[in-house]
């Protein structure tokens, strides 16, 4: 099995430091885990496919652990974009943190990698130290997200309400405004009363007209 590590493992890798967002202080890109019964500072590397340590780190680990880690022949071949890394062997172990542990293995390379032992992406996931959510549900929602419904836009301009839209919305709301039930009844009574008066006037007019016609006859 050949694994190309690309930029994740460099033969001359140095422990880099990153600043916090606030820029208050620097912090090492390392975490402490327990490998078998030894607390070891390691560097999480989500770009690595296997756990890696160099032969010097392995010897140091051997001298501290109460276990008896034995290197077995490894079929894995590691390489960077520039060159291949010589493999000395691999050993099985258990890596733990304060939450959980997982059975895994370390590939031991010859020489020195000039970095702490590297913990791979799969091991980080098993330890609950990294998780990928494709929907981005780790963070709070904001206005630039994909809308829950409707067409997909990522521009705030699309959602701006123009003066014309405000007027149209106001008119629609007026049409949608519910009429009070008492007001409806009052309006209906007025209409009926007006109709009754008109009918009475018309009836009287016709009656008077018939009387005049009868007198002439």
pLDDT at 13: 42
- Does the structure show a pLDDT above 90 at 102? yes
Specify the residue for token string 């929907």. 135
pLDDT at 180: 63
Question: Residues 145-173, buried b or exposed e (16+ Cβ, 10 A)?
Answer: eeeeeeeeeeeeeeeeeeeeeeeeeeeee
Q: Which domains does the chain have, with CATH numbers?
A: 2-126 (2.40.70.10), 139-217 (no CATH)
How many other CB atoms are found less than 10 A from the CB of residue 15? 12
Does this model's pTM top 0.85? no
Specify the residue for token string 């496919």. 49
For residue 29, name the pLDDT band (cuts at 50, 70, 90): confident
Q: How far apart are CA 144 and CA 160, in angstroms?
A: 14
- Comparing 8-22, 91-105, 133-147, the range with the smallest average pLDDT is 8-22
Position with higher pLDDT, 212 vs 23: 212
């Amino acid at each position: 099995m050949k694994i190309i590590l690309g930029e994740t493992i460099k033969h001359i890798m140095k422990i880099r430091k990153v600043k916090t967002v606030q820029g208050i202080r620097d912090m090492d890109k390392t975490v402490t885990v327990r490998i078998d019964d030894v607390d070891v500072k390691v560097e999480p590397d989500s770009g690595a496919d296997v756990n890696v340590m160099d032969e010097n780190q392995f010897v140091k680990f051997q001298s501290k652990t109460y276990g008896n880690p034995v290197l077995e022949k490894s079929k894995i071949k590691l390489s960077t974009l520039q060159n291949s890394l010589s493999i000395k062997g691999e050993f099985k172990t258990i890596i733990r943190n304060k939450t959980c542990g997982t059975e895994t293995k370390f590939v031991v390379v010859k020489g020195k990698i000039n970095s702490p032992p590297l913990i791979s992406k799969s091991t980080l996931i098993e330890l609950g130290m990294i998780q990928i959510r494709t929907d981005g549900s780790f963070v709070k929602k904001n206005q630039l997200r994909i809308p829950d419904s409707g067409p997909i836009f990522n521009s705030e301009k699309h959602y701006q309400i123009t003066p014309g839209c405000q007027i149209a919305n106001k008119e629609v709301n007026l049409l949608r405004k519910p009429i009070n039930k008492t007001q409806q009844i009052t309006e209906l009574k007025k209409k009926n009363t007006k109709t009754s008066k008109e009918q009475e006037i018309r009836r009287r007019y016709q009656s008077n007209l018939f009387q005049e016609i009868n007198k002439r006859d």
